Structure 1
């Protein structure tokens, strides 16, 4: 009661400031500024106390008579309608909640930060949350959120993107949208998340964006359209009907690559068609992926080399050289494996994986190097040198590097063997052939 009297006194003191204005022309205060300010003050106090039922009358007056008065009318309107719905489960409050969002767009939709796109995201999210069992409402919510994302672009909230994906899952499972639509959403949202992470400097925000991408991926898999067989059923007839459509071809390949479906018949058809229509680095890489998955490594090497020749992006070239190095290592072509691993490392700074690969190549070659046991075992010195370098420059490689160091250090030459060769601990030692590196002697008991 004391609060109400205090508010009333303050309103009466300042009402004269607005009286003339209220009598001449309707302003943001409505036709009666005194009543607008009084009701706003009273209902805001009730909202602060969580008394939404008591707040409703004053809020309704301001909402109806002075809709342009304050943005907080709509912020508090959301709180009131949600609070009353939770208390009563009466869906009339959800209907009013939707109107609150619509009026906020009408009167405050040009707000610099919380603009129409942002408001639509919240509106669609609330409709989906409160009417998730009503398919018609889910579809309406989905359309609202899609419009929000179109307006907001990279400024879209992670929650809105997740809600949109969740709504799409419900709709595709109830045959309300085509499977291709949720695939399009998945590709769009994953790309948006990557771009958001690329431009974001705050570590905590980067984590939030990454978690959102993981959430989108999880929802997509749960939708039941992500397995290779289903993707093939969706896209095979579309591709056969439009086999020159590069937009469709790229979409199919991106989706099949993401789901590691490179060994299927559809992938072979689409990848080969793309290479025929547009023999780019990406097209060659797709064919290389296909042959790697099929374990036809000689064919894959040719397309990797072609892709490397055509590719302009340094980071992608690093990956291509590394893939080629792995195949060469597996085939026992150690010198060529080393050469490509070094090129990969040059294209991407502080990347430890190429040095792990070189160390493995050295270790695998040890049995063919030299004639004496010490010469063969000396190769483990240079192998461990590479593992140490990988560990030093790349924290992501440190675990594997430690394991490899521990494994191959056990095979270092023994002091007794080294003594007869005139080699002491710490001596500089040259390993020749294609390895061609100097190292420090390390001996075991």
Structure 2
């Protein structure tokens, strides 16, 4: 009899479980169809019921629950009603993480933005959520808007003088958030560069790859905006007049702290304070303590400021060799191209600019730099006035490439190309010279050919 009872209970439990599963399936199907058709008034009661009786049944409850509640937030008639639905949406995000942990949807960030975007709660509540998320789940803190908001609230707290935040705290916060922004931008840039290499090899991108490429570009622009906005926010706080005495005061205490030295040198360089002896002092101490690509770069800049280009080139090349980050490697090579060689040795300058592009194909400003080198060589190349002016076509072509690999440079690239084209031979010149559709090769340092436009 005991065995029969156990079997009966097991069968009954299984029966009830199957019925519950069937009920949840039916209710979810109805809810999803209503939400898909944007019939949110009818979808909402179905969502409430699903969250009550089947909260762990399927991720679709939360995927479609978010826009459902968002509809009521957007259409709230009063401030109290709006806050009610914002808080409900925050609860939805919490449940999503509770029943489907590691979903990677950034729900904590969404909670903070829901409060901020709808002017609900306090700034301190928003900051607490962002701060906790950054410290406990930094890997998934990838929303550009949230990163900027996190920094802005902190700086505002410093400026208000009510949060007991010191200037060093602001610098530290800037550093950790800026590093996160760079980290996310690098992931996107590396992925984009792989697709650019495929294009450069003459292979067409698939539809999916083109969509990915466009997404990478859009997100890179967003992170660039964050970086620019953060720099603007801290600009008044981090002037050379303030930074130099600030770091000078702390140097003796911190000279054994490689991370402090690294960040101090980085900030002095970014704020164009690298001509001050303190920058050289910090750079040399850092390189002796922990030689890295970054410390070698700082020493290169220091020697450049001292007019010792030989030593500067030595350390900058060392930095490029040590650098593992393609974007930073490209920037080092570009620094050599633009500052060490510039227009004094155009061939070497182009060579280093091309090294920058080899490291990072989307490093568009290298193309703009090479285009300028070509345009500045009009009187050095070509044997006739027509050929000399034809160099501008090559400059224009090169400049436009900058906008093709980096959409944020497109306006600048198009403007530069248009300027070069205006200096090139006119249609009348092409006709009079009989050069339409012909090739011109420049035997000077350029060593490249250009096709004359057909009439």
TM range (shorter): 0.5 to 0.7
Give the corresponding residue for 2:388: 380
How far apart are the structure 2 equivalents of 1:343 and 1:313?
A: 14
Q: CA deviation at 1:244?
A: 1.9
Please point out which of 162, 166, 172 is paired with 2:158: 172
Q: 1:306 aligns with which of 293, 318, 321?
A: 318
What corresponds to 1:150 in structure 2? 135
1:161 aligns with 2:147: yes
Instruction: Answer whether contact 2:333 2:352 (CA < 8 A) is retained.
Output: yes
CA distance in 2, matches of 1:441, 1:124: 55
Which of 411, 417, 422 is the matching residue for 1:406? Answer: 422
Residues 117 and 148, structure 1, Cα contact 8 Å, conserved in 2? no
What is the CA–CA distance in structure 2 between the aligned matches of 1:375 and 1:328, rounded to whole Å?
30
Q: Counterparts in 2 of 1:216-255, with a 5 A limit?
A: 218=229, 221-222=232-233, 224-255=236-267
Name the structure 1 match of 2:225: 214
Q: Which residue of structure 2 aligns with residue 31 of structure 1?
A: none
**Aligned length in residues:** 367
How far off its partner does 1:270 sit?
Answer: 1.8
Whose RCO is larger (CA < 8 A, sep 6+)? 2
Give the Å deviation of 1:247. 1.3
CA distance in 1, matches of 2:126, 2:325: 40
Give me the TM-score of the superposition, normalised by structure 2: 0.58
- Aligned match of 2:178: 190
* 1:4 counterpart residue number: none
1:99–1:195 Cα change, 3 Å: same
Please tell me whether Structure 1 or Structure 2 has the larger radius of gyration of its CA atoms: 1
Mapping for residues 23-422 of structure 1, pairs under 5 Å: 86-87=79-80, 109-112=98-101, 118-119=107-108, 122=111, 126=115, 132=122, 142-156=127-141, 157-158=143-144, 160-175=146-161, 176=163, 177-197=165-185, 198=187, 201=212, 203=214, 207=218, 210-211=221-222, 214-215=225-226, 218=229, 221-222=232-233, 224-290=236-302, 300-311=312-323, 314-327=326-339, 330=342, 332-349=344-361, 354=366, 357-358=369-370, 360-361=372-373, 364-365=376-377, 367=379, 375=383, 377=385, 380=388, 383-384=391-392, 386-391=394-399, 393-395=401-403, 396=410, 397-409=413-425
- The question of whether the paired residues in 2 share the 8 Å contact of 1:429 and 1:440 is answered with yes
Q: Is the 8 A contact 2:366 2:402 kept in 1?
A: no
Change (3 A) 1:98 1:260: farther
CA deviation map 1:25-45 (0-9, x unaligned): xxxxxxxxxxxxxxxxxxxxx
Distance 1:208 1:236, change over 3 A: same
Query: Unpaired segments of 5 or more residues in structure 1?
Result: 1-20, 22-47, 50-58, 133-137
**SS at structure 1 position matched to 2:275:** coil
Pairwise CA distance, 1:252 = 2.0
* SS of residue in 2 equivalent to 1:375: coil
Q: Over the residues paired in the alignment, what is the CA RMSD in angstroms?
A: 5.4
Deviation at 1:168?
1.0
2-side partners of 1:360 and 1:213: how far apart?
A: 24
Deviation of 1:161 after TM superposition, in Å, equals: 3.4
Contact 1:117 1:147 in 2 (8 A): no
CA–CA distance in 2 between the matches of 1:111 and 1:104?
10
User: 1:164-204 CA deviation, whole Å, 9 max, x = no partner?
Assistant: 32331232123322223333333333333444453594856
Alignment partners' CA distance in 2, 1:360 and 1:404: 9
Give me the whole-angstrom Cα distance separating, in 1, the residues matched to 2:213 and 2:103. 21
